[in-house]
Amino acid sequence: MNGLRHDDPELFKLAEQEKKRIAGTLNLIAAENHPPASILEVLGSVFNEKTIEGYPGRRFHAGCVYVDQVESLAIDRAKQLFGAEYANVQPHSGTSANLAVYFSVLSRGDRVLAMSLPHGGHLSHGHTASISSQCFDFRHYTVSRDTERLDYDRIRDMALAFRPKMMVAGASAYPRLIDYKIMADIAKEVSAWLLADMAHLAGLVAGEAIPSPVPFCDAVTFTGYKTMMGGRGGVILAREDLGPKINRAVFPGTQGTSPVSMIAAKALAFKLAKTDGFRRIQQKTVETAGHLAQCLKAAGVCLVTGGTDNHQVLVDLNGTGMTGIRVQESLEAAGILCNRNVVPADTRVEKGAGGIRFGTAGLAARGMGKTQMTAIAGWILRILAAPDDPEGVKEIRTEVRSLCQQFPVAAYGPPE
Ligand SMILES: *Cc1c(COP(=O)(O)O)cnc(C)c1O
């Protein structure tokens, strides 16, 4: 980054510090990952220059001969990787992708049945703080009080009573698999469209570590930067017949020009997802999460649903006297990054949330597995037992740094 060093030393220094931060900490934030260097290269490449409106072969500006090929490559690879009939690679984010799917087939005020945010759903699934709730009439299903898992009989009852035009299957914080077949049966019964939002899961699906929603859904959305290990931005997969509607809903419906550098990074991520290395990382992500769950559970920590089937482990702190924010901050001081999260039946949403969410994708991307997870779980347990012990935090920080040395982030190398 010699150009940046010259033009803006202040920003350059921040970038160097950010690299060091990433290299020297353990990232257990479930919504993040470490993309390979080639992804970062293409994001900062010549493809940033071109303004595109429209779709390959039908642009509003001249000079699109190569960027048309970039977008077509991304579309073809997305379709091939996920076995989808149609793909749109222009959404700026997962939220934009969801909005475009809603606006493609729904009219203002139409009913949508989605998962409740405090039970694991996403803001863009009709939360009152999201514009989605102002445009459509959302109702939310929850997890079962006893099992903390989706209760499909109740979802079916709600669908029969509410008669939604669309159902959304997908979550930000749900450690179990979603049965897309049952969701599709329910949607069919009430003649609703079914959208699966696999933002968190796309990499696991692409690496065949968990089942795919694609065969069961009318549309599937996801983002490139979570388990997918790519750049940022969203993608929509769908049945062929929805393609023209979704194309219009993305551009010009909800977006203007889409950054070609981001589209190119999507194309690259889809290529990398076909490699054995990527598949191994996805398998390891799930195995390592399962191992973290076992270690925590064996020590008496309360987990939402008692375990995990994907990359997430959700700790329920209700009843421990600790809040999510307090544990998150102590872990951060020790070099272990995660996020506080609301959990089902949370009694302390306002006081910093009653849960902690861990994800293992970032560790697996560094090549870590069960052995390293055993050590990390031990450090997490020490912090949970004594979040305000500065000596303990300091000791763990040193061990974290040495583990980071042994397992460098590919794009940045080992910490100094
Ligand atoms: C992360 C996430 C998104 C995408 O979020 P953006 O920040 O808009 O990219 C969408 N849906 C779910 C379920 C998510 O977890």
Short-list 178, 152, 146, 154, CA closest to 309: 178
In a domain, 168, yes or no: yes
Judge if 143 and 261 occupy the same domain: yes
User: What does the alpha-carbon distance between residue 274 and residue 92 come to, in Å, rounded to a whole number?
Assistant: 24
Ligand 1 atom 4 nearest Cα: 94
Please report the atom of ligand 1 found closest to the CA of residue 200: 15
Based on the fold, state whether residues 232 and 375 are members of the same structural domain: no
State the virtual CA torsion across 270, 271, 276, 279 in degrees, nearest 10: 0
Encode 63-91: b = buried (16+ Cβ within 10 Å), e = exposed.
ebeebbebbebbbebbbebbebebbbbbb
Contact predicate 227/200, CB 8 Å: yes
On the question of pLDDT at 16 being above 80, the answer is: yes
What are the phi and psi torsion angles at 380 (to 5°)? -60, -40
| 266 and 296 assigned to the same domain | no
Name the 3-class secondary structure at 26.
strand
* pLDDT average, residue stretch 127-150: 96
The answer for residues whose C-beta is within 8 angstroms of residue 21's C-beta and 6 or more apart is none
Predicted pLDDT of residue 415 = 87
Residue type at position 149: R
pLDDT of amino acid 352: 75
Same domain, 179 and 324: no
Assess if residue 24 is contained within a domain: no
User: Has residue 375 got a pLDDT over 90?
Assistant: yes
Dist. CA 289–CA 416, nearest whole Å = 28
- Pair (218, 95) in one structural domain: yes
CB 31 less than 6 A from any atom of ligand 1: yes
Structure tokens at 239: 């049945």
Q: Is the minimum distance from the CB of 172 to ligand 1 under 6 angstroms? A: yes
- The domain boundary residue, chosen from 245, 272, 299: 272
What mean pLDDT comes out for the span 14-32? 97
Residue 174, token pair as written in the block:
């749900």
What is the structure's pLDDT at 230? 98
Residue 199 CB less than 6 A away from ligand 1: yes
Number of domains in the chain: 2
The atom number, within ligand 1, closest to the CA of 198 reads 13
User: Each residue of 34-93: pLDDT tens digit?
Assistant: 999 999 999 999 999 999 999 999 999 999 999 999 999 999 999 999 999 999 999 999
In terms of domains, do 395 and 347 share one? Answer: yes
389 C-alpha to ligand 1 centroid (Å): 35
Task: Report the alpha-carbon distance of residue 373 to residue 367 in Å, rounded.
Answer: 11
Contacts of 359 (CB under 8 A, 6+ apart): 28, 29, 30, 31, 32, 200, 289, 311, 312, 313, 338
Task: Indicate the average pLDDT of the chain.
Answer: 97
Model confidence pLDDT, tens digit, residues 300-322: 999 999 999 999 999 999 989 89
Q: Is residue 7 part of a domain?
A: no
Residue 240 and residue 97 share a domain: yes
pLDDT interval class at 347 (50, 70, 90): confident
**Residue burial 96-120, b: 16+ Cβ < 10 Å; e: rest:** bbbbbbbbbbbeeebbbbbbbbbbb
Same domain, 189 and 230: yes
- Residue 260 CB-density burial (10 A; 0-12 exposed, 13-18 middle, 19+ buried): buried
Distance 387 CA to ligand 1 centre (A): 30
Give yes or no: residues 385 and 402 share one domain.
yes
The residue out of 239, 272, 305 marking a domain boundary is: 272
Nearest CA to ligand 1 atom 3: 94
Quick check: is 414 in a domain? Answer: no
Ligand 1 centroid vs 249 CA: distance in angstroms?
18
Residue 259 located in a structural domain: yes
One-letter amino acid at 409 equals V
Cβ of 93 less than 6 Å from ligand 1: yes
Our answer on whether the CB atom of 197 is closer than 6 Å to any ligand 1 atom is: yes
DSSP of 122-161 = -TTTT-TTSHHHHHSEEEEE-B-TTT-SB-HHHHHHHHHH
Q: Which of 95, 222, 232 to mutate to test the pocket of ligand 1 (most atoms within 8 A of CB)?
A: 95
Q: What is the DSSP letter of 252?
A: I
Peptide bond preceding 252 in cis form (omega within 30 of 0):
yes
Altogether, the residues listed in the chain come to a count of: 416
Quick check: is 411 in a domain?
Answer: no
CATH number of domain containing 187 = 3.40.640.10
Token pair listed for 77: 């690879």
Rounded distance, CA 394 to CA 382, Å? 12
Task: Report the nearest atom of ligand 1 relative to the CA of 233.
Answer: 9
167: domain range?
A: 41-272
| 249 plus 315 within the same structural domain | no
Residue 171 CA, closest ligand 1 atom number: 13
pLDDT tens-digit profile of 98-132?
A: 999 999 999 999 999 999 998 999 999 999 999 99
End-to-end CA distance of the chain: 19
Protein residue with least CA distance to atom 10, ligand 1: 94
Residue 116 alpha carbon to ligand 1 centre in Å = 14
Where does a domain end: 242, 272, 302? 272
> Which H or E element spans position 357?
strand 355-359
Looking at the structure, tell me whether residues 167 and 251 fall in a common domain.
yes
Summarised one tens digit per residue, pLDDT across range 265-300 is 999 999 999 999 999 999 999 999 999 999 999 999
